[in-house]
Structure 1
């Protein structure tokens, strides 16, 4: 696939790299069922050997994996802001040194480029006019010598598109300025007599500094320092732990000019002219935004569930009893992830949101049956016991069906967290719901009955609509 066709390359910006000194090599792995190692383990395994080869030849090499979620510039990204770009570069070099001094931080790089020079051929317009050669012709000859030129298309009748005929020097000649300057152009004097003139007579080579790339984010100049976490057996590959390990070294940095230094986690610095700022980005930013949005959705969902249950039972206390088992899902979800050695991901959070609806449904079944039995026998204790015993079988069967459905995505690398949340969350919360809901409902209703009985002149009647 071409670099411009890859979303990962678009975000990481390596599809913009051009030139003979850079290149990409895409490796396609066989199907996961035909190999024993995960793609992440393979990438981490070949990285040290490739870096050793690159170091031997003075090159820089990186192993980039296809991300399971939204691509980022790098797992760990430090964005450096400040009042002056040169000062930002100096501070970025110190931040990079802190990256290199931190154990388990690998694939370290920054967006600065070493100072380079370029050779510019400036046409001497006076000499070109003296030799009767237009300035545009001199420039065209220099461009042809340095880069080549398509002079005409060739149609062979079998190709879908025309084949360009390109005139260019040999590659070794293009890189030799002396060879280029020896090229000869045809000129003519005032009498019309033609003669040849060397390109060196018409141009003047100038060595100038190469243009510097200035990166900007939201219109603010920024210097990036990037890295990754090595991971491996017994280690975590979460970028967040790498960022925490880096903070101690970064806090000791000396800023250029003695200006204040501020650390930002969520938003860019509001004022980059009076202080230097470091904004953490990368996978942390994606994680924060994902869990923030899903947390808001979770809270809104709980509020809507509460309002619906209030409308159903016409009570403000009964919905709280019905929703009480929702926090109990954590007792199953978090230990389940730890037991299987899986990380709590965005899909795990989606599973917790789904669990809220499943658990509330079970609670409503129990409370509604208690109300029905109260209308029949009027005995709160017997109605509560009957609800737990009669409704246990359909609730358990529903839970088992949902858990069996989640088993099919348990080995999926992306939806693994969703499956774990559903499996362990449903198992634990279902078992606890059959105990917690009857006990809470009985305790709350019995207390209200007792308070009514203690009130003077109050006749106690069986409660049919809960609290």
Structure 2
């Protein structure tokens, strides 16, 4: 008897067989419950924005003194795929794109080490600042967008921006969220318009203001005053918190009297010029709005994070969110990921059920149960292995499972049909004929499966983005 028959006989007579089947069933069900669901597979496509400030320099000066040397250094990093650079007034922007598959942390460490170990390339004493590195990847794409808009004209964009900042703080407390930012906000700023005539009259210069204003808006570290065997903590200075404090800043002396900033400038609280604008439409009524974008941590379940965000927004209604502000979830990748995953799981169940029904009609109940149990347990074990390996439930992985059902069902039907044929002869008992029947078709079935694997094996050597997918 060949290896297929011996394996069948060993599992047939072993008391561990039903226990192993039960363990496989439980592991698969656990994997379905805990495996993160996503719309797309998580792929390491890391790139980094490197901004190098050069205040006061023209684009041509930035290109020759900063951009070209920085490009040369970044290009020497192992794993760099492409580099894009932009020379602009006041600084250079370099976009370094790493090869697909390089982990984010490894890419960040490489670019930091390369830039900061080659600081000597920067022109000395010319005002070139330290590089600012912002790594980016596929996990930076928001999974939830929450748009705030006025229900009536009573809510201004300044009020909506303030509410959005409060929501940012609350939403950051949700486990699994990573990067939360506001788009279309209108921040308030203090406008200071200096009057040259008044400055000349009070003897205040621009240089003196540049020195005094930063010092006035700072606080020293905690100091200790020791006296009579006692240590008294002291803190010198404080940050400015409102426009009145700005007006009362002392910027000089004139005729023995203090000169306040309000004496030489017009100071008022205003709105900064927005760099991004958001509009929303409610039944053809277009209104300005503010959007909060929420990204998740790598490996987190997009469905759970999106659901937690929605629940938290419901809790904040009429407390942090006023009644005159409309809250709409304009992007919910968690819901779309759940819908697509559930749809594909339904298709998987339908395909399995159709095969079991076909076997039931053509062979009988016992054969249909055997095929159904074999297919289900194998699929559940595959899902458990996928979870243990770090994969997620997404369109690609579920499509692969549906594709594999054809091979799985074909093998099961061939083996069961041969057992059924021997049963129809009636010469042996079922327990006696199973090893021989399995041995007859075991070798060809294994070879047929290996042939399919060999046909698909070249896909494992595809490089780049398609290879990882």
TM-score of the superposed pair, with normalisation by structure 2:
0.45
Structure with greater proportional strand content: 2
Structure with higher RCO (Cα < 8 A, 6+ apart): 2
